Structure 1
Amino acid sequence: MAKPRRSTSRSAPSDVQRAWLRRGLDQPGGKLPLFDERGQRVKKATVEACLKAGWAERWFDNPLKPDWLVCRLTEAGRSALTGNGQDGEVPADGAEDDARQGALI
């Protein structure tokens, strides 16, 4: 019997994806930035990979800049950042004990 297909090609975000997704944690509604800390536009490949993995979702269309993808963090994205729900993955922020005990972070 064939294995069910996963909706993501990766089980965890790359360092670049993780850095972008992490910036949505403190924003209202989980809004993800269009630009990085240096004022450079976030690469479209990063945004599309996170959308495909389900870690981010399109939020709304920008009528003034229709080519900009305005996105927000999903619950799956929050889980990928904290390590909750990952196959044995330990959170990168040192909260191993909290994650093992099922505590909310």
Structure 2
Amino acid sequence: ILKGEQDAATQYLKRTTGDQLSTKFEPIIGNALESVNATKYYSDVTTTYNKIPFVEPVETDLTAYVNNLAIEGLFKLVAEEELKIRKDPISRTTDLLKKVFGYQE
């Protein structure tokens, strides 16, 4: 992880926790979307759209779509923080970060 890609730790976290996070996020996202009827309206629109000939079908499950974007966005932010920690010693705000990422220099 230390000598790998600039986002190696993030990739590891995504690989080992991504599915669990997705499972935890899904009901929260689903409830939020349901509370404003977004899933119904989105499903109606995308189902109709997908019936149009020669168009590339779009995802009709809004909860799954938003959940996927949320997970991707989360790990994008984590990767950005990891890069800061790797490149800037000032970003290593804990003793553990200083110890672990100090070895790479």
How high is the TM-score relative to the length of structure 1? 0.32
Flag the structure with larger Rg: 2
Structure having the larger proportion of residues in strand: 1
Higher relative contact order (CA 8 A, sep 6+): 2
